[in-house]
Each structure stands twice: as structure tokens, then as C-alpha cells.
């Protein structure tokens, strides 16, 4: 026990003395959160929309006002009252990026509306950003529909009312930040473990320790314990920034989140140990972890839902442990899920964790002895 404390002590001295690594460990979460919390914003707000109003009536202007109201669109008028130009510059406006959408209001718009006759308005969107176009068209159609109802007083035959549960404003950062927490925990624990073990081998220190009465597995456990604590600390920082800075609401139980994070660490530490046994330099270990992380991240459902993937790829994600942990973390943070909701994912993590941790420990022991 005393020597175990000696091992932990040594690990922390080393970690906190390496200024470069230390900066990396603590700046990485901040950077990732800023990039993913702000830059990757899939919310649709203030879409630049060009309005081709061939009607130039009070009613057509009301429709444009309705578009403006929700902060979803910033309309700009492309035609003056006497102009009857064709849509010749629409294509051009999309190409140079001045507009992402266009609304075309035909002549006789108000005339037909007042006669309660059917009228068609045109919506065009720049489809090169497919997601943006889809939600833009969605919002605009909704606005047009409710305007039509308001003006004509006619109820449509049926109506769809949609609500986003757990994220009423459909804020993408509420969805992204739990994902960042997962990737950080994964990357940090896996990379630090692989690199710290390989460094001992590379510097020859492993050999020096192996001749001491300390069992190689005890040495390994000292290392992974130190790194597990550090990873949890890192995760807490990311979570703290997410909640305090980005205002992500936390619906579930902290205790459950941290307990299951500890469980997930068995998997990532096990993978880190495994990578250390198949590489011989820190550089190799880093590249290997990097490659593996990108792959697991992309197939975890972090950026794109697993249900959107082709069937064969969906089958591959079954062996991606991050997938299960992502469901757990998003569930606890956003929906307040409990163990009773999450148990299939928890069982998956138990299986991955024990298998990988034990397998890698044995592999390390075999290589060391």
C-alpha cells in the first residue's frame, strides 16, 4: 500500500511538472468546448432570405413582416415597386453567398387571397447546406401557413404541432456539450495512459522498476489510477464550463454520471494500455490513439445519428463503446435518465470495460515479464 502511494505520488509529480502536457490537458477542454459550443452551431437563426415581391401589396408586405418576426430570417427586398424583373439574379445571389433562401410572391397575391382563392408562393433554398436548407424551408413554410390561416380565417384540414422535448429551443449546444464531455474523457484517458506507459518503456525506466520487488501489475494500476483521477477532473472542468458558461441545464444525477464515467474509464484505460503494448514510441502511441479516436467519435453518434448511417456501419457501431457512453451522458444531462432507463448501455460498458481492462493488463504483464 505504501509503495502504491509512492507510485501515485510519482505519477502526479511527473504530470504536474510537464508544463506542455499540463497545458494540453487543461486547455484542450476549453478549446473543444468553444469550437463545438459556438462554431459548430446547427441552429438556424437569421437566415438571409431574398424576397421577390411581384405583388407589392399590403398583404405581401405583411407576409414578409411575419417572416422577420421570429428572428429566423433576415429578409432583403430585391424588387422595387415598379420593377417587374425576372428572377435573373437569384442564382447569382446564392453563389456569392448573399442569400441562402428566396421567397417569391406572385402578382395577384393579395387579390386571390381576398377572393379566398388558392395561391402559390415560391420558396427556394440553397441545397448545398442540406441541413440548413431543410430547416429553413420548414420554418418558412410554417410561417406562410399560419399567415394564410390568419388572413383567410380558414382552418387547414389538419395541422401538425411539433414540440422539442428536453430541448424546447432546439439548442444544438445542449446536444453538443455532453458529446464534448464524452470525447474529452475518452481522448484524455486513452492517450495519457498509452503515452505514459510507452514513455516508461522508451526511457528505460520500466526496466529499472521491473527489477524492484513491485509487481508489474501494481505498477500499472498505480499509473492508471492516477490517470483515471485526472481524467475525471478533466471531465468535471468540461462539464463545469458547459453548465456555467454555456448554460447547459443538468437534468439528472451527478452521482450516476460520475459513477458511470468511472465504469467507462475501465474501457478507455484498457484501450490505452492495449495501445501501449502494440507501440514502442510515444509518437506511435499518439498517432494510434488519434486514429482510433477519430473513428470512434465519428461512429458514436456524436455528430450524426447512428440511425442515419448505412446498415452495415450501424452494425459496426455495436462494438464502439463510446456509442453507449454517449447515450448515457446525453440521457443523464439532458433528459434526467436514470439507471432504470440506461441499463442496456450500462451492461454494454460493463462487458467492454472488464474485457478490455483484464485483457490489456494481462498483455502488459506478459510483455513486461
Partner 1 sequence: MSYLVLDGLSKSYGKVPALRDFSLTVEKGDIFALVGPDGAGKTTALRIVCQLIVADAGRVFLDGHNLAERFDALKSILGYMPQTFSLYQDLSVEENLIFFGGMYGVTGEAYRARRDYLYGFSNLGPFADRRAGALSGGMKQKLALSCALMHDPHLLILDEPTTGVDPLSRRQFWEILLHFRSQGTTIVVSTPYMDEVARADHAAFMFGGRRLSVGTPSDLAAQFDGQVLFLDLEPSSTLIDKLNTIDGLSARRFGSAMHLYIAKDQSPARFAGPLASLGIDTTLIRPASPSLEDRFIQLMETGA
Q: From the CB of 313, what's the least distance to partner 1, in Å?
A: 41
3-state secondary structure of 40: coil
The smaller minimum CB distance to partner 1, of residues 205 and 314, is found at: 205
The smaller minimum CB distance to partner 1, of residues 14 and 148, is found at: 14
The smaller minimum CB distance to partner 1, of residues 199 and 335, is found at: 199
Measure Cα distances from 142 to 60, 67, 128, 236, 327 in Å.
Answer: 16, 10, 22, 41, 31
Tell me the DSSP string of 125-173.
E-TTSHHHHHHHHHHHHHHHHHHHHHHH-PPPSS------SS-TT--HH
The residue range among 10-18, 108-116, 127-135, 308-316 that interacts with partner 1, by the rule CB under 8 A, is 10-18
Q: Is 13 in the site for partner 1 (CB under 8 A)?
A: yes
Name the grid cell of 144: 406562410
The smaller minimum CB distance to partner 1, of residues 203 and 294, is found at: 203
Name the grid cell of 241: 464550463
The smaller minimum CB distance to partner 1, of residues 9 and 46, is found at: 9
Number of H helices, E strands in the chain: 14, 4
CA dihedral 151, 55, 63, 90 (to 10 degrees): 150
3-state secondary structure of 279: coil
What is the C-alpha separation between 84 and 63, in angstroms, rounded?
19
The smaller minimum CB distance to partner 1, of residues 59 and 214, is found at: 214
Name the grid cell of 361: 493488463
The smaller minimum CB distance to partner 1, of residues 97 and 213, is found at: 213
The residue range among 14-22, 28-36, 77-85, 172-180 that interacts with partner 1, by the rule CB under 8 A, is 14-22
Total residues at the site for partner 1 (CB under 8 A)?
A: 20
Q: From the CB of 281, what's the least distance to partner 1, in Å?
A: 15
Q: Is 365 in the site for partner 1 (CB under 8 A)?
A: no
3-state secondary structure of 15: helix
Q: From the CB of 207, what's the least distance to partner 1, in Å?
A: 6
Spell out, one character per residue from 192 to 231, where the chain touches partner 1: x when CB under 8 A holds, - when not: -----------xxx-xxxxxxxx-----------------
Q: Is 311 in the site for partner 1 (CB under 8 A)?
A: no
What is the C-alpha separation between 68 and 200, in angstroms, rounded?
62
Among positions 6, 156, 249, 262, the unique one binding partner 1 when judged by CB under 8 A: 6
Question: Applying CB under 8 A, which residues contact partner 1?
Answer: 2-3, 6, 9-10, 13-14, 17-18, 203-205, 207-214
Amino acid at each position: 500500500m505504501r509503495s502504491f502511494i509512492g507510485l501515485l505520488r510519482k505519477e502526479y509529480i511527473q504530470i504536474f511538472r510537464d508544463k506542455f502536457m499540463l497545458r494540453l490537458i487543461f486547455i484542450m477542454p476549453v478549446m473543444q468546448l468553444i469550437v463545438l459550443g459556438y462554431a459548430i452551431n446547427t441552429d438556424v437563426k437569421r437566415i438571409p432570405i431574398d424576397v421577390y415581391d411581384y405583388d407589392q401589396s399590403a398583404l405581401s408586405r405583411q407576409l414578409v413582416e411575419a417572416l422577420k418576426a421570429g428572428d429566423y430570417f433576415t429578409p432583403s427586398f430585391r424588387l422595387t415597386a415598379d420593377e417587374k424583373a425576372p428572377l435573373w439574379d437569384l442564382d447569382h445571389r446564392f453563389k456569392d453567398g448573399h442569400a441562402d433562401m428566396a421567397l417569391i410572391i406572385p402578382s395577384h397575391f393579395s387579390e386571390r387571397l381576398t377572393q379566398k382563392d388558392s395561391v402559390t408562393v415560391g420558396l427556394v433554398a440553397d441545397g448545398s447546406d442540406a441541413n440548413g436548407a431543410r430547416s429553413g424551408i420548414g420554418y418558412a413554410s410554417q410561417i406562410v401557413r399560419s399567415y394564410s390561416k390568419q388572413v383567410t380565417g380558414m382552418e387547414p384540414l389538419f395541422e401538425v404541432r411539433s414540440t422539442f422535448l428536453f430541448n424546447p429551443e432546439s439548442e444544438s449546444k445542449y446536444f453538443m456539450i455532453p458529446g464534448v464531455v464524452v470525447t474529452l474523457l475518452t481522448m484524455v484517458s486513452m492517450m495519457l495512459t498509452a503515452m505514459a506507459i510507452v514513455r516508461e518503456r522508451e526511457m528505460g525506466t520500466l526496466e529499472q522498476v521491473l527489477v524492484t520487488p513491485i509487481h508489474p501489475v501494481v505498477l500499472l494500476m498505480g499509473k492508471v489510477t492516477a490517470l483515471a483521477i485526472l481524467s475525471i477532473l478533466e471531465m468535471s472542468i468540461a462539464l463545469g464550463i458547459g453548465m456555467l458558461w454555456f448554460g447547459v441545464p443538468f437534468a439528472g444525477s451527478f452521482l450516476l454520471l460520475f459513477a458511470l464515467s468511472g465504469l467507462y474509464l475501465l474501457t478507455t484505460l484498457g484501450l490505452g494500455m492495449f495501445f501501449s503494448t502494440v507501440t514502442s514510441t510515444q509518437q506511435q502511441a499518439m498517432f494510434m490513439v488519434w486514429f482510433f479516436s477519430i473513428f470512434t467519435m465519428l461512429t458514436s453518434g456524436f455528430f450524426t445519428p447512428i440511425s442515419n448511417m448505412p446498415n452495415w456501419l450501424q452494425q459496426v457501431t455495436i462494438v464502439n463503446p463510446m456509442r453507449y457512453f454517449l447515450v448515457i451522458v446525453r440521457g443523464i444531462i439532458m433528459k434526467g435518465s436514470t439507471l432504470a432507463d440506461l441499463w442496456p448501455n450500462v451492461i454494454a460498458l460493463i462487458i467492454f470495460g472488464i474485457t478490455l481492462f483484464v485483457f490489456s493488463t494481462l498483455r502488459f504483464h506478459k510483455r513486461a515479464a
